[in-house]
Structure 1
């Protein structure tokens, strides 16, 4: 055990670094390295508590480590809180030029992470840093991905729970791979998994689907998320629906197939009825009537056609976004050196 004196930011005010004595376990020769990526949007109040907790957990691993905070265009003091730690070894802050979304922030963090293993966790304290020890144990036992799975969703509305079940059922219609239910971004990934994710070129990124698509040996780790104590989640209903649409259009083609099936289901009866009416009129002389029925049927089919056009339009929009080739994010500023700084 080596006692060193470091400057650690005051966790209450975060105004200026203050001395703190820590007793880190020196990583043994040849120790492996661990990166922790924290995407943040307006999480300044939570970061004040999370960073010291996470630092203590990482010192106990006896690994070389780094903490990378990705500020996704926050309007509060998230960047200031994170940058106050960047004079210490192992801390790094990446500030994006605006809010690009969590998927882009995660991608930026993965691009910057240099560890042999990478842990992703939210900055709202709902992902307990203590679970990292269990993740590392599974990784050292041979797992290449260790993902945390929520044991219960009692804190969510019935509508959100039903929507979640429907989403995963639609997503997992493929027999090639499946997205684990109730698993979020809280996970540990081996370096080879991170490199595989970094090699994927698409810009419309649905990370939960990408985690599953790259494969590798994965182990589920049940956990119960802690309640949020500061601030409110930035994922409202509109953003959740948008994320679900991104996931469905990025990893499934069944909506396009559904358009063809629905068209066939309506076209065959309509054609059959048309033939029946024509024969009835030609053979028996019965007059063709029912203008109200015709108008209602016409409006119904127009509605089906508009929905079908919208579904196809969603896929075309994704093609358009990919064709533009714009970067996923733009970095405004970087502070700290992460694993580039020498740790005891």
Structure 2
């Protein structure tokens, strides 16, 4: 089974399907292709409906709005019924294990490693995009990287503690030097520019630390609301097994 997230892909989706089917036809196994339309505003959904009418291997799920790549990947995994699922490649056991990780802020690359089953690597040649442009801008890639950093460790919080201890240590050392030199050299008033610079630097450190803490609090806040990862607008998948259709409190729900 292969699953493919889509977002405004009307120019390339039919050609992509043609190439994928040509490759899958060379293997001696039954397969299905699940396309997940991530709330696009072009003709992607209508093209998927046409493909499903002509090809019995095609399944599709269309979101009510754009929920993001991670939600689209989760929808594909939940609706998959095969013994293996290709994003890269997951066994049925690994797929079910990933679906048991019900966290709201998902970072799939980390989740795939988190389940801990044996892995294998293989080399392949990536295809060049024949038409259109990637939907991943630099800002989206940066935010995706931050999600991966914050979702699987608490090191940013530990770094924030160290950043707070560094200026504190410098300030205490400076205060000790002022107190120690006062009996010898007398009291001298520090320069205004130096004072402003120190206050500005400390304020910046505090804002960074508050931002890091806020990111973790936001993830807790989103998790306890238990909103669905996605809402389905249209699909040609009649049913799915337990835990795959997104009917649990933090999964997707069809409307």
Q: Give TM-score, length-normalised by structure 2.
A: 0.88
Give the superposed CA RMSD: 1.8
Contact kept, 8 Å, 1:64 with 1:339, in 2: the verdict is: no
Per-residue CA deviation, residues 112-141 of structure 1 (Å, 9 max, x unaligned), is 000000112xxxxxxxxxxxxxxxxxxxxx
- Looking at structure 1, the residues matched to 125 and 23 of structure 2 have their Cα atoms a distance apart, in angstroms, of 19
- Between Structure 1 and Structure 2, which shows a larger proportion of helix residues? 2
- Looking at structure 1, the residues matched to 116 and 9 of structure 2 have their Cα atoms a distance apart, in angstroms, of 31
- Give how far 1:288 is off: 2.6
SS at match of 1:68: strand
Contact kept, 8 Å, 2:34 with 2:59, in 1: the verdict is: yes
* Pick aligned residue for 1:71 from 37, 57, 60: 37
Per-residue CA deviation, residues 128-160 of structure 1 (Å, 9 max, x unaligned), is xxxxxxxxxxxxxxxxxxxxxxxxxxxxxxxxx
- Looking at structure 2, the residues matched to 304 and 338 of structure 1 have their Cα atoms a distance apart, in angstroms, of 52
- Looking at structure 2, the residues matched to 262 and 56 of structure 1 have their Cα atoms a distance apart, in angstroms, of 55
Q: 1:206 to 1:229 in 2, by over 3 A?
A: same
> Is 2:36 the counterpart of 1:36?
no
- Give how far 1:337 is off: 6.0
Contact kept, 8 Å, 1:92 with 1:337, in 2: the verdict is: no
Matched with 2:95 is 194
Stretches of structure 2 that go unaligned for 5 or more consecutive residues are: 242-255
Q: Which moved more, 1:81-90 or 1:308-317?
A: 81-90
- Looking at structure 2, the residues matched to 230 and 245 of structure 1 have their Cα atoms a distance apart, in angstroms, of 29
> Is 2:191 the counterpart of 1:224?
no
- Give how far 1:226 is off: 1.7
Contact kept, 8 Å, 2:79 with 2:240, in 1: the verdict is: no
Q: 1:54 to 1:337 in 2, by over 3 A?
A: farther
Q: Give TM-score, length-normalised by structure 1.
A: 0.66
Matched with 1:303 is 204
Q: Give every structure 1 segment of 4 or more consecutive aligned residues whose post-TM-superposition deviation is greater than 4 Å.
A: 336-340
Matched with 1:245 is 146
Aligned length: 239
- Looking at structure 2, the residues matched to 285 and 219 of structure 1 have their Cα atoms a distance apart, in angstroms, of 70
Q: How does 1:202-213 map to 2 (within 5 A)?
A: 202-213=103-114
SS at match of 1:94: strand
- Looking at structure 2, the residues matched to 273 and 218 of structure 1 have their Cα atoms a distance apart, in angstroms, of 54
Stretches of structure 1 that go unaligned for 5 or more consecutive residues are: 1-34, 121-186
Q: 1:84 to 1:339 in 2, by over 3 A?
A: farther
SS at match of 2:130: coil
Per-residue CA deviation, residues 9-36 of structure 1 (Å, 9 max, x unaligned), is xxxxxxxxxxxxxxxxxxxxxxxxxx11
Matched with 1:290 is 190
- Give how far 1:339 is off: 10
SS at match of 1:203: coil
- Looking at structure 1, the residues matched to 81 and 200 of structure 2 have their Cα atoms a distance apart, in angstroms, of 58
- Looking at structure 2, the residues matched to 336 and 321 of structure 1 have their Cα atoms a distance apart, in angstroms, of 29
